[in-house]
Structure 1
Amino acid sequence: MEDLFKFSSVFCFLEEYFLRQGMNVYVASYINLFINLIVLVLLVIIINYIIRRFVIETFNAFTNKTKTTFDDFLVKSNFPKYVGQIFPLILINYTIPYILINHQWTLGIVQLLVNIYAIILGVWICRSLLRTTKNFLKIQEEYRDKPIDSYIQVVIIFIWVVGIMFIFSEITGRSVINFAISLGAASAILLLIFKDTILGFVASIQVSVNDIVRIGDWITFSKYGADGTVTEINLATVRVQNWDNTYTTIPTYSLIADSFQNWRGMQESPGRRIKRAIFIKQSSVKFVDSNDLEILKRISLIAPYLDHRQKEIERYNLSNNVNKELPINGRNQTNLGIFRKYVDAYLHEHSAVHKEMYIIVRHLAPTSMGIPLEILCFSRDKRWENFEYISADIFDHVIAAVPYFGLKLFESPSGDDIREYFSAESRT
C-alpha cells in the first residue's frame, strides 16, 4: 500500500502545485484528475494504435509466408485487431488505481467498466477464433457438406451466455455460480425464448447424424416453394438457392418435421430417370396385315424383329389350323405392339440412354385421353440442361414416328378443329 502511495505521487504533482498556489483542495484535486485522465486516454490511444498496427502487420507478414489458410482467416475475422487491444487494457487496469487513489467511488466505476470491457473483449476473441475455425473447415473436403454453421453458432451463443453471466457477476458482486443457480428458476422462460434455437440445434444434429441434407444437395420443398441447391445450413434456417437464382429460407426443424425431396440419390446414381408418357388414340389401334408388314419392314430398327415374330406367329396359326379369314382369329401383330417394340429398340440404340439401367416401354391403364404409352429409362448425363435436351430429343423422335405405324396421338380439340369439323359437315 505504501508503494501505491509513492507511485501515485507521480500523478499528483499538479495537484500539489495547485495547492501551493492557494487553490481550493477539491478544485485542485479534480483538475489534476481531469488532466491525468486526458493524458491517460491520449497515451492509451497512441499505444493502442501502435500495438494494433504492429500486431496486424506481424500477422499479415506471417500469413504471407505460410501455406496454410487458417492464419489468413484469422486476419479476416479481426483476430489481430482484438489481440492488439489487450496491452492497452492492461495499461489502463494497472494505471487507474494510481490516478484515482483519492477518488475511490470513481475508481470503482472505472474498474467495473474496464472489467466488463475485458470480458467482452474475451468473447470477441473467442468468437473470432470460432469464425476462423468455421471458415477453415468449410474449405476442407471432408467438412464442406456438413452443417458447421449450426455448431459454431451454438458455441458462440454459449460463450455469450457465459460472458453475460460474468458481466452480471461484476455488476452485482455475486459469484458466477450463484448467478447460474438463480438462472435455474428462470429456465422455463429461457426455454421459451430460445425455443427456435434449441429446436434448430437438435434438428442440425439429427440432419448431420442421419445425413438427411448436405450443403450442395438439390432439394425440393413444396411447402416453402424451395427447389434448388442447399447453400447454407445454420442453427435456425436452411438457405436454398432456387433454379431461378432466388433464395428460400427454410426452418431447420422443418427438415425433420416435414417431408421434402432430396435429389442426392439421383446425383450419385449412374443415371437420371426419364419417365414420361404419350397418349395413343384408341381408335387408331388395329391388327396389321401383310401389306402393312411389308411397309413396316422398311424400318431398319425393327425389320429383324418383324421377320422373326411373323414366322413364329405363322407357325403357331398353321399348327393350330386357325381360320385367318378374320384377323381376330389366332395370333396377330398390332400396330401398337410393333410401335412399342420400335420405341424399345430406339432407346437401346440411343447413345445418351444408360444401357445398364432400366429401359421399359409399357402400356398404362386406358383413360379418357387414350392409351398411355410410358417410357421409363435413364439418361447418362445428369446435368439439368443436358437431361432436358436428351428427354426432348427422345420424345421429338417418338412423337414424329407415331404416324408411320398408322397410330394417332390424342389431343383435345382446339377451336380450329371444331370449325373445320362444322365446315366439313356443311359441305356434305
Structure 2
Amino acid sequence: MDYAVINPFLTSGYIGADYFCDREEETKKLTRLLTNGNNVALISSRRMGKTGLVRHCFAQQKIARKYNTFVIDIYATKNLSDFVYEMGRQIVNALKPRGKKAIESFIDTVKSLRTGITFDVQGLPSWNVELGDVQAPAITLEEIFSYIENAGKPCLIAIDEFQSISCYPEKNVEATLRTYIQNCHNANFVFAGSERSMMGEIFMSAARPFYQSVSIMNLDVIPEDKYSAFVKHHFEANGRNIAEDAIHETYGRFNGVTWYIQKVMNYAYSITDKGCSFELTQLESVVEDIVEENSEIYKNMLFLLTPPQKTLLVAIGKEGRVSQITGRAFLKKYSLSASSVQKALATLLEKQVVTNNQGVYEVYDKFMTIWLSWG
C-alpha cells in the first residue's frame, strides 16, 4: 500500500510509526517493562489510544524481532467461553501471516478446537469455530496456555478491555487466569482497561488475585504542542496547511482525547485541497457534519432507553460534566428525583453510555454530547 496517499489521520488500526503521534516516553517505558519480565496494567479512559500504543510498542524492532505478539480484544465477551473463543480466534488471526506451519503448531496443541480450524487449497487457515463449540472452556484455556508456554519465541500478549472479566458469571475467573499467567514463563502480559475503578479493584485490592502482580501505567492525553506539531507536519507534508488556532480549538473542545481529535482532523484533511488551508472558521461546520452523520445511531440509542434513563442522559449531555448528580440544583433544573436518578444512572453506567471518572459523570461519546445539546 502507498501510505503517502492515504488520509494520515487514522481513526482505527495501526499502520506504522509515521502515523502515530508522540507517546515516545510511554513507548520506551512499556517496552522496557515488557522486555524485562514485567506484566503491565495499562489504564486510561476509552479512546485515549491504549491499543495504538500497544501495537506501536509491539512494532518496535527490539520486540518485533524477538517475540510473538498477540492483541486480544475481550470488550464484547460476556463469560469465560467468550473469552476463550476470542483468545483462540485472535491468536489464529495473528499467526496467519507466519504461514501454515505456525498455525499447525497451535492446532496441534489446542486439540479441543482442532476440528473448527481448516485450511484451503493454498494452505491458508479458516476459523470455523463457533462460540458454542467451546464446550469445555477450562480445558481449552489450559491448551492455549500450553501453546504459549511452548511457542518457539517468547510471547507478549495484550488483553484489551481486561476489566470485562470482572463481570463474568463464572466464579474464580480472576484466580484461574492469575494462576495460568503466574505459571506461564514464556510470556508477559499487558492488561489494558478503560474503566478506572474496575481496573483499580482488580489490580490494587488486596483481596483480589491480581493484587501486586503488575506494574501500573496510566495513560494521559498527548500534550497539545506534540499534537499540534503532528497535525501541521502531515498537512504540510501533503501540500496543505492548517491554522494553528483550529488545532488549538479542537484539542480544547475534546479535552485532548486522541480519537476525537483524529476524527476531526481526518475530516478537515479530507475537505482541504492541495495548496489550500483549513481555517478555524470551518471547524464548527466539520464538527456538525460528523455529529449529524451519527444522529440516527443516537436516536436509536435514546429509543432503547426508558423515559427516566433518557431524561437523565439528556440532562448529563446538556450539562457536559456533572459532579453533584443527586444535588438539589441539578435535580431541580431537569425535574428529576434522587431515586429515579440513582436507578437510571446504574443502567446508563452498565451500558457504558455514561462514564464516571472520580465522581464526575459525562456522556461517553463526546459527539453525542454535542448532539444532545442541540435538543
TM band (smaller chain): under 0.3
TM-score, structure 2 length as denominator?
0.21
Q: Which structure would you say has the larger RCO, counting Cα contacts within 8 Å and 6 or more residues apart? A: 2
TM-score, structure 1 length as denominator?
0.19
